[in-house]
Structure 1
């Protein structure tokens, strides 16, 4: 297996299925641009967070996935052998996740910025004796 990070667009809707053991999982197909052509990646997810993220997407939505990748081939109706990839997704990142993470980081960044400004001001105050400079 290959640990991979892929990004592409969801083809069709992701679908939730039930295993014989009663555990649910989600399958999806992602179109990934690879050089001069597109490759379809068959995705399966078992973790609750990855399943939820895939089910929230619509066909055509951009998505990035991380997980174990297995290269395969398939033969089309004309007999042409084509590449295929199977990915067991452990992590799913969507535009929604990016926006949410940016919002979570922004307050910290503003806080750090204010803290740095306060430190710089206090450093300047330590050096200021209140007398004007004379040349």
Structure 2
């Protein structure tokens, strides 16, 4: 399996199912843009509560970014041509809603859950960066080529 970050648009409506043990899970299909201009379909399954809830709140055509364990597959189309496919077990789901919610919370000085003020570390001013930097840089370059 491969740790992956996939982004694309939902193809169809995500569905909720229940396993034999009674635990709910969500299924979805994402159309991701391939490097050659063709679309690549990613079959998504989510078992944890947060990614399941996030997927089920979306509809056909919504943009989504998913992270999780990716498994490459091959399937045959109607003409019998081998086509690439991907199966993803989603661990995290990020949508435009999540980005907007986090951005607004940070602007209000709240943490992401909205309960208490967030402690934001301030970036030092340029003068502070210069004061921390070494003043004598002559020893940093020995003139030798780098081994890449």
TM range (shorter): 0.7 to 0.9
Distance of 2:67 and 2:17 partners within structure 1: 21
Match of 1:87 in 2: 88
TM-score (norm 2): 0.73
**More RCO (CA 8 Å, sep 6+):** 1
Query: Aligned-pair distance for 1:108?
Result: 2.9
Distance of 2:108 and 2:30 partners within structure 1: 34
Greater Rg, structure 1 or structure 2?
1
TM-score (norm 1): 0.80
**Partner SS state of residue 109, structure 2:** helix
Match of 2:65 in 1: 64
The ranges of structure 1 where at least 4 consecutive aligned residues each deviate by more than 4 angstroms after the TM superposition are none
Distance of 1:48 and 1:85 partners within structure 2: 22
**Partner SS state of residue 52, structure 1:** helix
Match of 1:31 in 2: 31
Distance of 1:73 and 1:62 partners within structure 2: 25
Bigger share in helix: 1
**Partner SS state of residue 22, structure 1:** coil
Query: Aligned-pair distance for 1:98?
Result: 0.4
Distance of 2:58 and 2:101 partners within structure 1: 15
Distance of 1:19 and 1:80 partners within structure 2: 33
Query: Aligned-pair distance for 1:77?
Result: 1.3
The gaps in structure 1 that reach 5 residues or longer are: 117-135
Bigger share in strand: 1
